[in-house]
Structure 1
Amino acid sequence: MSNDRVALITGTSTGIGLATAVQAARRGFRTVATLRDTGRADRLRAAAADAGVELDVRPLDVTDAHSVGTAFEGVLADYGRLDVLVNNAGAGHIGTIEQEPLSAVRETMEVNFFGVATTTKAAMPALRASGGRLITVTSVGGVVGQPFNEAYCAAKFAVEGMMEALAPVAAAQGVTVCVIEPGAVATEFVKNVGLDERVFAEAGPYAGSLRAYVTSVTGSFQSAQTADKVAEVILGAMTADAPAFRIQTSKQAEQFAAVKFADLDGSAVQRLTGGWLA
């Protein structure tokens, strides 16, 4: 792998983003690892040092258009090119529409959808010039709507729709578009959602269903995939000659997504996800 290829990865403070940044550097990419607050980059820098690789750590807040513009302008000024953008930054959110403020829904969309739209728009001119790759980490929650994830799934569905529509347009310009769909991953993503007893106490008529859902999800994370394994799949999309548009990161994710793709009337998904609330 030529070491003049430049990859920019968002959301690299922990988890999938951190693992992807380190593995990309190992594979010879000049890796620009971005995160909202570079004061939280200690773990990222330590992982790079342990792996014996160098990362170019820079600030980038996907919800701030000025921050995004500055980051991409800096990369092009310093390297003269961009070959890969990995849209990884995102945030989980638990809630149901009757009970939560619309501001929370908008915030979830801002991070998980408009953040991706903003970085994609900024990257496309450079990716067209390099014949590069646009890779976006979505989720099986971008395929199957899941209880108490209305806002989060809406954002991930929107990302999947945008990328599916963009893919042939981008391909005509020499840019390859992929979406990466992890299932349960053993990262801090779930912890950062912020579920505690207060949430259950305030859930009112939804409290029983919410507890049942959380119990189901907690069980699925006992056999969760590691961030390193997801990063290996992302690196495959970055380096393969002709990667697929849609890539699940595990057999479990493939099986889960397959329920939706074969479910023309929606009944199979409703049986599956409704069972989580029993």
Structure 2
Amino acid sequence: MTRVALITGTSSGIGLAAAVQAAKAGYRTVATMRDLSRAGKLRAAAAEAGVELDIRALDVTEDPSAVVAAVLADHGRIDVLVNNAGAGHVGTVEQDSVENFRKTMEVNFFGVVQLTKLVMPALRATGGRLITVTSVGGIVGQPFNEAYCAAKFAVEGMMESLAPLAESHGVKVSVIEPGAVATEFVNNVGLDLETAIAAAGPYGDQFRNYVSRTMQSFSAAQTPDEVAEVILKAMTDESPAFRIQTSQWAEGFTGLKLADQDGSAVQKLTGGWVA
């Protein structure tokens, strides 16, 4: 019996690394991405690792029912769903558009909702794993990340609520909480830095300080492979934790929030980012 893993957002970064590592560990890995024209890097990584992947198109903001049905028809089962697809967004609510908030929620939250809904019956049938890559931003709200953190908070709330019910039917639920991962931060969120600072108006100085601090954190970030190792452990451990941070820094950062009953410790920390 070959276990089947369905992983979203695999064209680069964490998703790419997770797909390759899952295949190396013996999973029949269905690696999905929105645009198959971006699959070259994934195919090259799989070839270098000596593994085969089933690469398919899947836009999590659209109806994924045909893709899920095709995977089940072709492979007969799904043992693991890794909700990894997502997109960053930077902005503050006064100056951002409601439409940007909606788009950020569609990618990072509703995409997770609709795919999880479709795959849950298959996971119940296999006693499978439901793993979702969130962020430390799913625990700690951060300046200029209102839309993104709102979406990640929503994902964490959904999964925390679902976990005991899923467990009662044999499905183990985990959320993976990375901090900074070695990607190009400004390019990843589609940000023209000087234009964004100029457009920030009364928040310009705070935005410049936030970006400077964030880019410094990305310069000492984890690699996608390091995060993928944590995902694979959640896939294979007999009893994975619900909430899993991917580094000591992430453990300390989220731990501050989880012990911060009145919110003052987090406000003091993140306020220093923009002061």
TM category (shorter chain) comes to: over 0.9
Q: Specify which of 14, 20, 24 is matched with residue 16 of structure 1.
A: 14
Query: CA offset at residue 189 of structure 1?
Result: 5.8
Tell me whether 1:96 sits opposite 2:73 in the alignment.
no
Q: Deviations over 1:209-253 (max 9, x none)?
A: 000000111111121000000000000000001000000000010
CA drift of 1:187 comes to 2.2
Classify 1:127/1:64 alpha carbon distance in 2 versus 1 (closer, same or farther; 3 Å). same
Runs of 5+ in structure 1 lacking a partner? none
Q: 1:267 is matched with which residue?
A: 264
Q: How many residues align?
A: 274
Q: In 1, distance between residues paired with 2:250 and 2:144?
A: 19
Aligned match of 1:127: 123
Aligned pairs for 1:59-138 within 5 A: 59-65=57-63, 68-138=64-134
1:236 maps onto 2:239 in alignment:
no
Structure 2 CA distance, aligned partners of 1:190 and 1:157? 22
Q: Structure 1's 257 and 231: CA in aligned 2 closer, same or farther, altered over 3 A?
A: same
SS in structure 2 of the partner of residue 127 of structure 1:
helix
Residue pair 2:183, 2:218 contacting (<8 A) in 1 also: no
Q: Is the 8 A contact 2:177 2:244 kept in 1?
A: yes
Separation of aligned partners in 2, 1:33 and 1:209 = 39
Matched residue type, 2:179:
G
CA RMSD of aligned residues (A): 0.8
TM-score, normalised to structure 2, is 0.98
SS at match of 2:261: coil
Whole-angstrom CA distance in 1 between matches of 2:183 and 2:204? 26
Matched, 1:180 2:176: yes
SS in 1 for 2:89: coil
Could you give the per-residue CA deviations for residues 120-174 of structure 1, whole angstroms, max 9, x where no partner exists? 0011010000000000000000000000000000000000000000000101111
Match of 1:34 among 27, 32, 35: 32
2:135 pairs with 139, 142, 151, which one?
A: 139
How far residue 190 of structure 1 moved from its aligned partner, in angstroms, is 4.8
Written as runs of structure 1 = structure 2, the 5 A alignment for 1:246-265 is: 246-265=243-262
Distance in 2, Cα, partners of 1:5 & 1:206: 50
Q: Percent identity?
A: 70
CA contact (8 A) 1:91 1:189 kept: no
- Asked whether the equivalents of residues 86 and 134 of structure 1 are also in contact (C-alpha less than 8 Å), the reply is yes
Off by >3 Å, runs of 4+ in structure 1: none
TM-score, length-scaled by structure 1: 0.97
Please, which runs of 5 or more residues in structure 2 have no aligned partner?
A: none
Question: Is the 1:13–1:43 contact (alpha carbons within 8 Å) kept by the matching residues of 2?
Answer: yes
Q: Determine if contact 1:147/1:273 at 8 Å carries over to the other structure.
A: yes
| Distance of aligned partners of 1:168 and 1:134 in 2 relative to their CA distance in 1, 3 Å threshold | same
